[in-house]
Amino acid sequence: MNGTTLQVTIKGVFLLEKAGGPVPLVLLEDDTKRIMPIYIGLSEALSINTALNREIPPRPMTHDLFISLLERVSSKIDGILIDELNEGIYYARMSVSMDGKHFELDARPSDCIAIALRCGAPIRVRESVLSEAVVNKDELENILPLDNYF
């Protein structure tokens, strides 16, 4: 799949108040300040938030374990790409280097983000996906930072 990709930063992990209860989301932002939300699970939200805050849990979380395994086998994450949005579901790929070889793994964007933050890998989004998913700041009025919720 071709097309322009843009590097993004993680603006934070938030909770959106809904009738059925709070829904976690992570906000990505490009250089032009466009914001793209990705709704995620609570455990992934906590993992991403932990990485953003550079907190070290008393025991390794799943994403920490993944990074430890990669380091043990002399592999590294070259970057992640969120490259598709289909019926509200995002798709992502993780680029990995190992023994001079490069390959990609299909993965959920939330897992990719949690891992990329832990190893400092760049996070990229296909321009077409970002353009489709971008939201106005007024659409984010009812969100609370995850840290403020607990």
CATH code of the domain covering residue 101: 3.10.690.10
| pLDDT tens by residue, 109-126 | 999 999 999 999 999 999
Q: pTM, whole model, 2 decimals?
A: 0.92
Domain boundaries, position 47:
5-149
Report the number of distinct structural domains present in the chain.
1
Average pLDDT score over the chain: 93
Cβ 50 vs Cβ 57: under 8 Å: yes
Mean of pLDDT values over 3-11: 95
CB 129 within 8 A of CB 91: no
